[in-house]
Amino acid sequence: MSSARLRLTALLAAAWSVPYIASKVHLAIIGELGVFGGPAIREADAARFGGGDVSIAQWLNAAAGVLILLVCLLALLPSSEHRSGRWRMIVIVIAGSLLTVAALGFAWMAVGGAGGVVFACYLIVWALFLWLLAAQLRRRRDSSDAPSASPAPGSAPGRASDAGR
């Protein structure tokens, strides 16, 4: 597994988080409910929020986006121990699972006519980035755990041809 490929995937996944974060910050500043490319907000749903509650909710959504960005960057940390690689993998798999569930939920709403196809696709790509990161980390861990290649012919100690000499 090329560390350059892993680095590229981690950076692309982190960069994919930026539009979501920026949109949530924008919506928090203007105090508007919703998500760009998401389903339309019904008046009844919007009425349940007060002006300040919407901004707080959007700031928390922006913070969630930053958290996912940081999870994407976890893959860039050097792994000095076997356990550190395992916890990173667990965090990335949990984030990928949560994004997958969110993507399926938004896709279901879109299929049901609520709209939000663009945001559902955005979430699907975001989840795929995390699953790709997890797979690349797993391959890297598996390749580092693999036994070293067998010695070159003629250089192995205790060769069968040496036995009776």
Of residues 120 and 146, more confidence is placed in 120
pTM: predicted TM-score of the whole model, two decimal places: 0.74
- At residue 16, the pLDDT reads 94
Of residues 28 and 150, more confidence is placed in 28
Distances in Å between the Cα of 42 and the Cα atoms of 27, 48, 114 are: 16, 10, 10
- At residue 81, the pLDDT reads 58
* Total Cβ atoms within 10 A of residue 29: 11
Q: 3-class DSSP state for residue 39?
A: strand
Which tokens hold the place of 29?
A: 């500043």
Fold of 3-142: de novo design (two linked rop proteins) (1.20.1440)
Domain ranges (residues) in the chain: 3-142
- At residue 159, the pLDDT reads 47
- At residue 24, the pLDDT reads 92
Beta-carbon contacts of 88 under 8 Å, excluding residues fewer than 6 positions away, are 74, 75, 77, 79, 137
Side-chain-side CA neighbours of 126 within 13 Å: the count stands at 27
| pLDDT tens, position by position, 31-70 | 888 887 777 777 776 677 655 578 888 999 999 999 999 9
- At residue 41, the pLDDT reads 75
Q: What share of the chain is helix, strand, coil (3-state, %, to 5)?
A: 70, 0, 25
